[in-house]
């Protein structure tokens, strides 16, 4: 059976094509060719006394690199306007990723492998930090969404939060008959912010001293040797705490995966601006002390 081209779609493009494999890795190929040509030039062109940013080849690579950095930064503006077609955002992102990676080659050869404690190497280091954070971003974008989806099990974020709220309400009611010491444990569990903790807790997913876990273990110490009569409010609290703990585990895993998906941008974007500042200082200083 003949297939009919879908109107409005470019031939050969499928909707499932991510930005990485866009147009059969067109920009990967472009970046590889660019890097290869530059490496070849570095090897064949004999600049005296040695390759560095001050040779004509170094200046040429530096100009290419600086313009490329500025173009790569424009993605931040460009991504706010999604368009299809040849200059689609996907194509732009694909080019951003692969040309950004080719900067490693361009900038390293621009420097001629000369590094030191100066503004020039600072710009290089910041650029590498941006690239590495971008590589991390691509890695997590490629691997984590599956884990995120598996963990959610079709629950939305609001549903997760509502589930915890429901358990909290039940806990609150169930704990009313408890003596004060036990009630305080449950109260601490209720007072514990499921979104609390700093960036380290978010990224590691470890929450030592979790009040829910503490409350449960303390209550179990009391209930351990008692028979389950079915009327003991502690048993009900225990069961609720267990449910809350399971729900918290899912929420925390969700938060961890989301944090990993987000955190690289907190480096990628601000360091890009630091890089542009360092790049300006680098260029101005070179011409200042010319």
Helix (H, G, I), strand (E, B) or coil at 177: coil
Please select the residue that binds other proteins; options are 152, 172, 213, 250, rule is CB under 8 A: 172
Tokens of residue 98, six digits:
């692969």
* Cα 181 from Cα 185, distance rounded (Å): 7
Please select the residue that binds other proteins; options are 25, 39, 54, 243, rule is CB under 8 A: 54
> Which residue's CB is nearer to other proteins, number 88 or number 114?
114
Task: Please return the burial class of 106, using the count of CB atoms within 10 Å of its CB with bins 0-12, 13-18 and 19+.
Answer: buried
Distances (CA, A) of 230 to 48, 107, 167, 175, 206: 89, 71, 19, 15, 34
Per-residue interface string for the shown chain with other proteins, residues 207-226, x marking contact by CB under 8 A: --------------------
> Which residue's CB is nearer to other proteins, number 91 or number 251?
251
Please select the residue that binds other proteins; options are 12, 198, 208, 209, rule is CB under 8 A: 198
**Smallest gap from residue 231 Cβ to other proteins (A):** 16
Per-residue interface string for the shown chain with other proteins, residues 85-114, x marking contact by CB under 8 A: -----------------------------x
User: Stretches 18-26, 97-105, 224-232, 258-266: which one binds other proteins (CB under 8 A)?
Assistant: 258-266
Q: Give me the long-range contacts of 13-18 (CB less than 8 A, separation at least 24).
A: 17/90
Residue 289 in contact with other proteins, rule: CB under 8 A: yes
Q: Binding residues for other proteins, how many (CB under 8 A)? A: 70
* Cα 272 from Cα 81, distance rounded (Å): 20
**Smallest gap from residue 173 Cβ to other proteins (A):** 8
* Contact yes or no for 261/142 (Cβ under 8 A): no
Please select the residue that binds other proteins; options are 9, 21, 29, 50, rule is CB under 8 A: 50
Distances (CA, A) of 222 to 174, 233, 234, 244: 16, 12, 9, 19
DSSP assigned state of 237: H
* Contact yes or no for 251/85 (Cβ under 8 A): no
Which residues of the chain form contacts with other proteins (CB under 8 A)?
A: 46, 48-50, 52-54, 56, 114, 116-120, 122, 157-158, 161, 164-165, 168-169, 171-173, 175-176, 178-180, 183-184, 186-187, 190-196, 198-199, 202, 254-255, 258-259, 262-263, 265-266, 269-274, 276-278, 280-281, 284-290
């Amino acid at each position: 059976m003949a297939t009919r081209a879908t109107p409005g779609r470019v031939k050969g493009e499928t909707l499932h094509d991510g930005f990485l494999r866009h147009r059969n890795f067109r920009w990967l190929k472009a970046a590889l060719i660019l890097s290869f040509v530059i490496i070849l030039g570095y090897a064949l062109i004999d600049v005296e006394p040695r390759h560095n940013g001050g040779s004509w080849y170094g200046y040429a690579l530096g100009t290419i690199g600086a313009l490329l950095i500025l173009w790569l930064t424009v993605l931040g503006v460009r991504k706010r306007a999604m368009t299809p077609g040849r200059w689609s955002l996907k194509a732009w992102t694909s080019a951003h990723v692969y040309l950004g990676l080719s900067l490693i080659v361009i900038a390293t050869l621009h420097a001629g492998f000369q590094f030191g404690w100066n503004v020039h190497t600072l710009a290089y280091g910041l650029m590498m930090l941006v690239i590495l954070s971008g590589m991390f971003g691509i890695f997590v974008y490629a691997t984590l969404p599956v884990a995120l989806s598996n963990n959610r099990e079709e629950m939305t974020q609001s549903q997760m939060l509502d589930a915890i709220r429901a358990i909290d309400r039940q806990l609150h009611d169930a704990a009313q008959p408890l003596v004060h010491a036990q009630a305080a444990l449950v109260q601490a569990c209720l007072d514990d912010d499921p979104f609390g903790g700093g960036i380290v807790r978010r990224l590691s997913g470890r929450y030592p001293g979790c009040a829910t876990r503490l409350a449960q273990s303390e209550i179990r110490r009391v209930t351990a040797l008692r028979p389950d009569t079915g009327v003991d409010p502690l048993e009900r609290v225990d069961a609720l705490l267990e449910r809350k703990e399971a729900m918290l585990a899912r929420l925390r895993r969700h938060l961890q995966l989301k944090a990993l998906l987000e955190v690289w941008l907190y480096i990628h974007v601000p360091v890009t601006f630091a890089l542009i500042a360092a790049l300006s200082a680098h260029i101005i200083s070179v011409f200042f002390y010319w």
